[in-house]
Chains A and B, each alone.
Chain A
């Protein structure tokens, strides 16, 4: 296998000396363009994994490498979206999506000069998630699902190599959630960035990911790795097929076992 894009080697993290490890002995490889999902009971260190992967937290032990380089500080190539859309209420939807371009090089240097071009790019990405016509509205004038779409656009506008999603659909109703699965699927299918999706929704993980990792409860360890061999492009219909359900069941058993202990 070619060199992994994200490489965790025996990583431990304790936030402080008294609280014990948040995650333990994490070893995994994600290759470029892979879509992985991390599932586990709440409080299992899924978000800690995100912090380690983006360099927001250094590991207590072990090494994290991304794109062939050892991670020692915050990476500058990551797009992130969380359960809360976290849009800035004083900016229009368009300006919210443009925010990363004001911060990340090489866009930052040319932001003023190329603003029109970048705004055009933002409009087109907003269009792909079905938000055309809402560019000049403020976030608080949008529904929760629309805000989350805009939040994903913001995470992708600078064409990051790595997209980190921390339960991005957790606060949405079931219909909107499935709709946004498809939005994410299409974006990924078209651009093939690497995705780390943290979720507690097993169907979501199986539908979207190439590989699903199950974590134990705190201190979080990886207890199972499951390759999802469903053919792509996947249609929402497959979530009702037996094969799909079988995989979800299998993962459910892993989670069930760690919850009992």
Chain B
């Protein structure tokens, strides 16, 4: 019985995905919705199949601009998080600025980036970066700012320097928060790069969707959405697995086999 329960749990996401696709297909057919308005699931997947070459050709630039932007986001996000989290002065001074910056819709940066760097992969990479570093910074900073004062006393009474406290306690204890933020950041990074491609790019899924829109090939646009969603989900899973491996202690080993 327990075995069966687990099997069901494992297949649950696929069952819901199947139900969603089936519902989508049924709604379109039953109500006879025009393909220009909402293409059916089968039409979208057919478009994906028929245009597999061009789609793959455009998937690659989207993927790597996102990953480069995400990588930058990790580096800058962690650095800022460490700076803000380890000093009250920095926390008070920089945090409000970051919040204000984060409130700006990142799509609004795209025209500026295009003016600076021209049309191409640079604006997409930078938009991905700008949108994804904030959650990483906030989580690292929170992890560092909430070290138990007594634990810090234990280490300082041993003569530990600030760097040592950071290395031995601050960073390891921020790891669960860091990985949680990576899962948010990776999906945001895809949002950033695709938004930028939609506005100004020569390649990428965003650009493909834009050109499909100009010729009213709506099923192809949906195929583009599916591809983005699959990429983001796969990357999310990669980081979820990494998280379980690295920070199993945080969940007290509960999902070590999950």
Residues of A that sit less than 8 Å from B by CB? 51, 54-56, 74-76, 78-82, 84, 86, 88-90, 99-100, 102-105, 138, 140, 154-155, 158, 164, 166
Contacts and interface: CB of A to CB of B under 8 A. Distances in A.
Contact of A86 (B150, B250, B253): B150
A56 B150 CA distance: 11
A87 to B, nearest CB: 9
Contacts of A166: 150
B172 A88 contact: yes
Contacts of A138: 249, 253
B106 interface: no
Nearest to A83: B150
B157 interface: yes
Contacts of A78: 157-158
A82 B149 CA distance: 11
Given A76-B159, A103-B164, A88 B154 contact: no
Chain B contact surface mostly: helix
Interface residues of B, number: 22
Contact of B153 (A56, A89, A102): A56
Contact of B157 (A75, A84, A86, A140): A75
Interface in B171-193: 172-173, 175
A90 B249 contact: yes
Contacts of B155: 103
A162 to B, nearest CB: 9
A103 B249 contact: no
A86 B151 contact: yes
A56 B154 CA distance: 10
Contacts of B153: 51, 54, 56, 80, 82
A196 B103 CA distance: 52
B158 A158 contact: yes
Chain A to chain B: the 3 pairs with minimum beta-carbon distance, closest first? A76-B159, A78-B157, A90-B249
Interface of B: 148, 150-151, 153-160, 164, 168-169, 172-173, 175, 247, 249-250, 252-253
Contacts of B160: 103
15 contacts: A74-B157, A75-B157, A79-B158, A82-B150, A86-B148, A86-B150, A88-B169, A88-B172, A89-B249, A89-B250, A90-B247, A90-B249, A104-B158, A138-B253, A164-B157
Contact of B159 (A74, A80, A89, A154): A74
A102 B148 CA distance: 20
Given A86-B151, A88-B169, A88-B172, A104 B157 contact: no
Contacts of A102: 168
Contact of B150 (A76, A79, A84, A154): A84
A84 B156 CA distance: 17
Nearest to A87: B151
A166 B154 CA distance: 11
A103 B158 contact: yes
A164 B153 CA distance: 11
B167 to A, nearest CB: 9
B148 A103 contact: no
Contacts of B253: 138
Given A54-B153, A103-B155, A103-B158, 8 more contacts: A75-B157, A79-B157, A80-B154, A99-B168, A138-B253, A155-B154, A164-B157, A166-B150
